[in-house]
Amino acid sequence: MGGIADYSGSLVLQLPTPDRGNLAFVARSPTDTGCEPHLCASSTCAEPASFALPIASLVECASPSDVRSALAAAAAPRWAMYALGVVGLLHAESWIDLGAEPGADLLLAIASNLPQGKGLASSASVEVAVAKACVAAFGAALDDKALALLCQRVENFVVGAPCGIMDQLACALGAPGALLAIVCRPAQIDGLVAIPPGLTVIDVDSGASHELADSGSAYTVVRAAAFIGAKLLGVSCLTADVTVAQLDALLPTLPETLEADGFVARFGSLDAHLDAGVTPLEAGVAYPVRASVAHAVREHQRVRLFRQLLATPVPAAETKALLGELMLASHASYTRLGLGSAATDAIVTRAVALPGVWGAKVTGGGGGGVVAILCDDHAVELVRSSFS
């Protein structure tokens, strides 16, 4: 729960996927005589499966933009932008020293069984796996929270994907079978939340992929719109500064949509956009300000209620039904923002019609991907067989 409201400072609840993820291994290897040391990366889940570039091209990097430029100049494939972006930024921020062994290649191997583009944090999982492998190999003094924040910077400023922080924190700090509670302001860990006995959360792949890194994607537009709304309301954080009780009075003061030229007319410059460094406003795009603000504030409230209901030791049917209603309300809100899909809607509709299923919703950035389903333990096999 929480999903795309993370960039608006919402409480989110993240559940690690069982038996799926990424592993990374980093090692030094002597360079062949007369050869320039290279950073050599391979992946079991990407094409091309391997990529290498001279270590020297990253040694002089001092910022995310330097790392981005170095990888772009080497024509790094997309997966390598994530993986080697982590290595490059760890060096640029002085956590590791890529030039410490001038006579050695650096080998990076990644193995994965996590599907990509499904809202299961596949990119964050790669980033965190690579970062943890580098921290171990170089003996870096970087804790898991700082590591997650670095991985988010890689995704935002090296890859150019406008993600929030929840996925990286869940990959770095999550625990099996429990929800990691995060207040994304920017990254306050608020403990683990147990799923009550008798209830299970399972995932069903819709078969539809989504993409956050496209500057014109629906996710990017909705994110930018939320920050436009915050600017118009004169607040720095929607979920901290606007309550659900205040929302009904404030929404009519906001335009349904606003384009970049309208923003400039009000504030004098595109630089006044609160998220300009991650989602710069583009001409001709109608940003859905009112709906994006409403989603952020109401989703934060939904997640808070969801967490309180989960605290019931043995939830009664009414409590389970309320949990399900909150999930369905979140799913419907994604759809109003243009982040739904026919594939995920069909799964949600079919799932909640099954006995023992209480709720279902799209995950991650929406627009496809995986649907999370809350059901009784005894209904798990029925749900899985219904979507196999």
Q: What is the pLDDT of residues 319-351, one digit of tens each?
A: 999 999 999 999 999 999 999 999 999 999 999
pLDDT (average), residues 15-32: 76
Counting residues of the chain whose pLDDT is more than 90, the rounded percentage is 75
Instruction: Assess contact for 209 and 117: CB atoms under 8 A.
Output: yes
Least confident interval from 29-33, 246-250, 264-268: 29-33
Cα separation, 231 vs 189, whole angstroms: 26
- Spatial distance between the Cα atoms of 248 and 315, rounded to a whole number of angstroms: 32
Q: How many domains does the chain have?
A: 2
Amino acid 112: pLDDT? 76
Are 355 and 264 in the same domain? yes
Query: What was the pLDDT predicted at 216?
Result: 61
Burial (CB < 10 A; 0-12, 13-18, 19+), residue 115, is middle
Task: Show which of 149, 173, 197 is a domain's final residue.
Answer: 173
Among 173, 198, 230, identify where a domain stops.
173
pLDDT at 294 over 80: yes
Containing H/E element for 146?
Answer: helix 144-153
Same domain assignment for residues 8 and 33: no
Q: Give the domain extent around 140.
A: 22-173
- Using the 3D structure, point to which of 173, 203, 219 is the last residue of a domain: 173
Does one domain contain both 146 and 228? no
Is the predicted pLDDT of residue 248 greater than 90, yes or no?
Answer: yes
Do 298 and 336 have their domain in common?
Answer: yes
Question: How sure is the predictor about 31, in pLDDT bands with cuts at 50, 70 and 90?
Answer: confident
Of 225, 84, 228, 215, which Cα lies nearest the Cα of 160? 215
Spell 5-25 as b/e; 16+ CB within 10 A means b: bbbbbbbbbbbbbeeebbebe
Report d(CA 124, CA 128) in Å as an integer.
Answer: 6
Looking up residue 330, the CATH number of its domain turns out to be 3.30.70.890
Predicted confidence at residue 67, as pLDDT, reads 97
Pure H helices in 154-199: 166-173
Q: What whole-number distance in Å separates Cα of residue 50 and Cα of residue 31?
A: 18
Which pLDDT band, with edges at 50, 70 and 90, does 120 fall under? low
Residues 8, 42 within the same domain = no
CATH assignment of the domain containing 71: 3.30.230.10
Residues whose CB falls within 8 Å of the CB of residue 132, separated by 6 or more in sequence, listed in order:
24, 147, 172
